[in-house]
Amino acid sequence: MFIENNNTIIPDLSLIQDLDKNYCLQVFNPLPVAFTKGKGCYLYDTEGKKYLDMIGGIAVNSLGHGHPKLVSAIKNQASNLIHCSNYYYIPERSALAYTLCKKSFADKAFFCNSGAEANEAAIKLARGYFHYRNEDRYEIITAKMSFHGRTLATVAATGQPKFSEPFAPVMPGFKYVEFNNYDAILEAYTPKTAAIMLELIQGESGVHPANIEYVKMVRKFCNEKGILLIIDEVQTGIGRTGTLFCYEQYGILPDIMTLAKGLAGGIPIGAMLCTDEAATGFKVGDHGSTFGGNPLACAAALAVLEAIKDDDLLVNVNENSELIMSKLYALQKKYPCIKDVRGKGLLLGIEFDETISASQMRIELFTKGFLVSSIGTSTIRIAPPLVLKKQQALSFVKALDQILKNTIPAKRSIRDLLGTNKDTSGENK
């Protein structure tokens, strides 16, 4: 039996792989490993091997694995109440809304279950805002190479055709402009423009930060034209870049902001925050979510925010970011194959030239016990837990140094690197 009578899953990798292949829709391309336990910044596989989690569930596990404050909050809430309909007041939802609004620019919050749903809410709110003002404005300007989600509306908002082409025709009303190009914004604007939607760091296209002056000019333009500025902080929010919200580093205030990923440390949650003015885009019944704002997810999010404050995790993020960046810059001088090192806080991208395959580097690091993601052909991304320790950060850089010193053989296959018959060269988005 795969599942015992006490509902314990037997940790047999080959059986797990077979069941996944036969019964799960094959939309992922996972590495040949299954994790059964996590502690701090480490994950342990079915064989007991330890891996340093330098991707943190793709910026989700903000407190790492098994953090006592988060575990306690989840256990306590689960023992009392896991779900309650939005037909009634939910104390944890009210408390989380208050906390996020007091810590940000926002006046109001809406909760859902993912970043895509948060961005869906933002798109709807922007359109609703002008509908209730009796203005025919529905177009939203987004950036090329952006990523806003995988629902039909958010793939339409995403400025990467590869995510939307299989599902055409996509939702109309989006215009795509070159990132960090203010003139392109001016050219794309029409009297039907309702909002500009931007990430401050384009994570899924290689960790590309927005220029500060560009963002300030876009904010000023939105003010002049009376349109809304939506900042997608699904990946950059909740301390990831060294401030609680990345927009704080740009000297601007958005009208709408979206959050998810690290907000509840691994429990699914999404949030859309907005000003009172922008909030007029929704009336009672215009939007909703069955599971959004449930007591369990909100209790987890409150615990994450408390830990970030009480444990000085923003200080930890900035110290480790400075350490990692300085070591990576040193490696860049040592190895010309490193083209660029970029990002903010603990959301960093390392780009290589054509002699280094990002997916191959991901596998090399995996075999040494380090988990990262690869983006495209040339960039690896790291987004470790905010609780990362300095020695752990140094061990990652040391492993990267060793790999580059030995030079990845250009014709060495990923099957050879893993010692397996399975080809796992693709990136798991």
Per residue in 307-354, pLDDT (tens digit) is 999 999 999 999 999 999 999 999 999 999 999 999 999 999 999 999
Whether 254 maps to a domain, the answer reads yes
**Per-residue pLDDT reduced to its tens digit, 217-256:** 999 999 999 999 999 999 999 999 999 999 999 999 999 9
Residues ≥6 apart with Cβ < 8 Å to 120: 112, 149, 151, 153, 154
pLDDT of residue 4: 57
pLDDT of residue 222: 98
List the beta bridge partners of residue 293. none
C-alpha–C-alpha distance, residues 287 and 283, integer Å: 8
Angle at which helices 390-406 and 313-334 pack, to 10 degrees? 20
List the beta bridge partners of residue 351. 340, 379
Whether 175 maps to a domain, the answer reads yes
pLDDT of residue 6: 61
Mark 241-263 as b/e (b = at least 16 C-beta within 10 Å): bbbbbbbebbebebbbbbbbbbb
Whether 273 maps to a domain, the answer reads yes
C-alpha–C-alpha distance, residues 285 and 1, integer Å: 47
pLDDT of residue 303: 98
Over the Cα atoms of the chain, what is R_g?
A: 22
What the block records as the tokens of 164 is 């939307």
- What's the CATH code of the domain at 243? 3.40.640.10
pLDDT of residue 10: 63
- Per-residue pLDDT for 422 more than 70? no
- Per-residue pLDDT for 423 more than 50? no
- Per-residue pLDDT for 418 more than 70? no
C-alpha–C-alpha distance, residues 276 and 61, integer Å: 31
pLDDT of residue 411: 42
Active site amino acids: 147, 232, 261
- Per-residue pLDDT for 426 more than 80? no
Residues ≥6 apart with Cβ < 8 Å to 207: 201, 342, 343, 347, 348, 349, 375, 379, 381
Whether 99 maps to a domain, the answer reads yes
| Residue spans of alpha helices (H) in 239-346 | 295-310, 313-334
pLDDT of residue 56: 98
What the block records as the tokens of 160 is 């990467």
Domain count, the chain: 1
- Per-residue pLDDT for 298 more than 90? yes
pTM, to two decimals:
0.93
- Per-residue pLDDT for 24 more than 50? yes
Percentage, residues of the chain above pLDDT 90: 92
- Mean pLDDT estimate for the chain: 94
Whether 148 maps to a domain, the answer reads yes
CA atoms within 13 A on the CB side of 353: 9
Q: Which of 137-141, 357-361, 385-389, 420-424 is the least confident region?
A: 420-424
Give me the domain span that covers residue 264. 69-310
- Per-residue pLDDT for 305 more than 70? yes
Whether 260 maps to a domain, the answer reads yes
SS3 content of the chain, % helix, strand, coil (to 5): 40, 20, 40
pLDDT of residue 217: 98
Q: Which long-range contacts (CB under 8 A, 24 or more apart) does 423-426 make?
A: 424/29, 424/30, 424/31, 424/32, 424/363, 425/359, 425/360, 425/363, 426/29, 426/359
If we measure between CA atoms, which residue out of 100, 76, 64, 61 comes closest to residue 299? 76
pLDDT of residue 11: 75
Whether 203 maps to a domain, the answer reads yes
**Per-residue pLDDT reduced to its tens digit, 161-217:** 999 999 999 999 999 999 999 999 999 999 999 999 999 999 999 999 999 999 999
Whether 86 maps to a domain, the answer reads yes
C-alpha–C-alpha distance, residues 287 and 125, integer Å: 9
Given a contact cutoff of 8 angstroms between Cβ atoms, the answer to whether 232 and 258 are in contact is yes
| Chain mean position to CA 21 | 26
